[in-house]
Amino acid sequence: MTKPLKLKLEVNGKTHEVSVEPRVTLLDALRDHLHLTGSKKGCDQGQCGACTVHVDGERVLSCLTLAAQVEGRAITTVEGLRPDGGDLHPVQAAFLAHDAFQCGYCTPGQIMSAVACIKEGHAGSDAEIREYMSGNLCRCGAYPHIVAAVREAKEAMAS
């Protein structure tokens, strides 16, 4: 049996100590050990984007990232976009305003990807938004609403 690793994970601005097996993914560490269930386990193969989080400000698929790989790095989950119950992040507010979700399962990953898409400078046109959000799947087909929300959030984040 493999000896558990003792890790310090910096999640949403707080340090958490966890003891996990070396093969535990970041997604499982977040959900099962830290009880941050915003990131979803969709396909568990890096195909759907439901597990998208930010590591040092860049989007990553947490189902393909080992928890041990991100020790000492800044991890942000969808819960961390609205710290301490403050105002909604502009992307969250735009998703609500544009009804950019139906079942809601993909929404946390879509939001995290949208924040990164805007920060990366890839929200200049609807086509560009679609291209840079293409790693996040929505089985309900809310894509036109998601694009509109990203477009609105980009303007809100610029001001």
| Domain CATH number, residue 125 | 1.10.150.120
Q: 63 and 33 share a domain?
A: yes
What is the maximum alpha-carbon separation in the chain?
54
Q: 53 and 104 share a domain?
A: no
What pLDDT, on the 0 to 100 scale, is given for residue 156? 95
| Domain CATH number, residue 15 | 3.10.20.30
Domain end marker among 47, 81, 115: 81
Q: 102 and 35 share a domain?
A: no
Show pLDDT as tens, one digit a residue, over the chain (159 residues): 689 999 999 999 999 999 999 999 999 999 999 999 999 999 999 999 999 999 999 999 999 999 999 999 999 999 999 877 789 999 999 999 999 999 999 999 999 999 999 999 999 999 999 999 999 999 999 999 999 999 999 999 998
Q: Please give the Cα distance from 52 to 60 (Å, whole number).
A: 6
**Conformation bin of residue 95: beta by default, left when phi > 0, alpha when psi is -120 to 50:** alpha
Q: 68 and 102 share a domain?
A: no
Distance of CA 127 to the CA centre of its chain: 21
Q: Which residue segment(s) compose the domain that 95 sits in?
A: 87-158
What pLDDT, on the 0 to 100 scale, is given for residue 100? 96
Q: How many domains does the chain have?
A: 2
What pLDDT, on the 0 to 100 scale, is given for residue 2? 83
Q: 69 and 101 share a domain?
A: no
Q: At which residue do the structure tokens 């309900």 appear?
A: 140
Q: 60 and 31 share a domain?
A: yes
Mean pLDDT of the chain: 96
What pLDDT, on the 0 to 100 scale, is given for residue 159? 84
Q: 10 and 75 share a domain?
A: yes
Q: 116 and 73 share a domain?
A: no
Give this prediction's pTM. Answer: 0.95
Q: 63 and 36 share a domain?
A: yes
What pLDDT, on the 0 to 100 scale, is given for residue 75? 98
